[in-house]
Amino acid sequence: MNIRELEERLGIPRANVRYYEKEGLIHPARGSNNYRVYTEEDAAALEKIQLLRRLDMPIGAIRAVQAGEVTLAQALERQSQLLAHDAAKLARAQQVCRSLLEALRAQRKSSTVLRSSGYRSMASWPLLSSSANRFL
Do 51 and 16 belong to one domain?
Answer: yes
Give me the domain span that covers residue 112. 80-135
Give the predicted TM-score (pTM) of the model: 0.70
Q: Is 61 helix (H, G, I), strand (E, B) or coil?
A: helix
- Domain closes at, from 70, 94, 122: 70
Q: Do 56 and 16 belong together in one domain?
A: yes
Count CB atoms within 10 A of the CB of residue 17. Answer: 22
Choose among 121, 115, 132, 83: nearest CA to 99: 121
Indicate if 10 and 50 belong to the same structural domain: yes
Based on the fold, state whether residues 61 and 85 are members of the same structural domain. no
- CATH code of the domain in which 62 resides: 1.10.1660.10
Q: Is the distance from CB of 9 to CB of 1 less than 8 angstroms?
A: yes
What is the rounded distance in angstroms from the CA atom of residue 111 to the CA atom of residue 96? 22
Show pLDDT as tens, one digit a residue, over the chain (136 residues): 999 999 999 999 999 999 999 999 999 999 999 999 999 999 999 999 999 999 999 999 999 999 999 999 999 999 999 999 999 999 999 999 999 998 888 887 765 555 555 555 555 555 554 444 444 4
- Domain endpoint, select from 13, 35, 70: 70
60 and 108 belong to one structural domain: no
Task: Give the SS3 label for residue 110.
Answer: helix
Number of domains in the chain: 2
Q: How many CA atoms lie within 13 A of 14 on its CB side?
A: 7
**Residues 21 and 44 occupy one common structural domain:** yes
Distance CA 133, CA 27 (A): 49
75 part of a folded domain:
no
Residue 49 located in a structural domain: yes
